Amino acid sequence: MNRLASLLKRFSRDVRGVSAVEFALIAPVMLALYMGAAQMTAALNADRKVTGAANAVADLIAQDDFVTNGELADIYAAGDAILFPNDAADLGLRITSIRMDADGEVFVDWSEGRGMPARGQDDVPDLPNGLLAPMNSIIMVEAQYPFNGPLPKESGPLVTLGDTAYLRPRRSAWVRRQS
């Protein structure tokens, strides 16, 4: 019994492995915090780029008085370039021209989507108050991006990022769509 008590006393005074035990307890928590911070930083950066892509696409459309298929392809490519270094293959963009007639009736003039369905003429989204005036229009660009992040995921996207940009046409009352 004395031998066991002596062994326990000596064991309790030995501090040679304390650092290793503390490291083993703290390392998983610190690693999780580091990985979480990396994931959050990548998500915030991707969200900023999705917002930038929506605003840039809306700005390019609003600068024109009519839009052709070739111009739309170039504008979609510009939105993709803004998303770099993220993979733009999954970036969904929907461009919609919304008009208000003289009677105050709001309707979709035209809509184009890539990775998102186009809106129908009666598919008018809820708009912020005061955005439209009679005989005017707005360009609305909706962007969606499924964010996966730098860490591997087996269960699909971590979150879907999205934003909507509204701009008034600059050169005419509304932007026309040409094939």
pLDDT of 21 = 85
pLDDT of 38 = 86
pLDDT of 156 = 62
pLDDT of 157 = 67
pLDDT band, very low/low/confident/very high, at 48 (cuts 50, 70, 90): very high
Domain that holds residue 79: 13-177
Position 7 in a domain = no
Counted domains in the chain: 1
Position 6 in a domain = no
Position 86 in a domain = yes
The interaxial angle of helices 18-62 and 69-83, nearest 10 deg, is 160
pLDDT band, very low/low/confident/very high, at 154 (cuts 50, 70, 90): low
What CA–CA distances, in Å, run from 18 to 31, 50, 61, 114? 20, 48, 65, 59
Residues with Cβ within 8 Å of residue 79, at least 6 apart in sequence: 53, 54, 56, 57, 88, 91, 93, 143
Position 3 in a domain = no
Position 30 in a domain = yes
3-47 residue pLDDT tens? 888 888 887 777 777 888 889 999 999 998 998 888 889 889 999
**Helices (DSSP H) in 101-168: which residue ranges?**
none
Asked if 79 and 93 count as a contact pair (C-beta separation under 8 A), the reply is: yes
Position 5 in a domain = no
Task: Compute the average pLDDT of residues 66-92.
Answer: 92
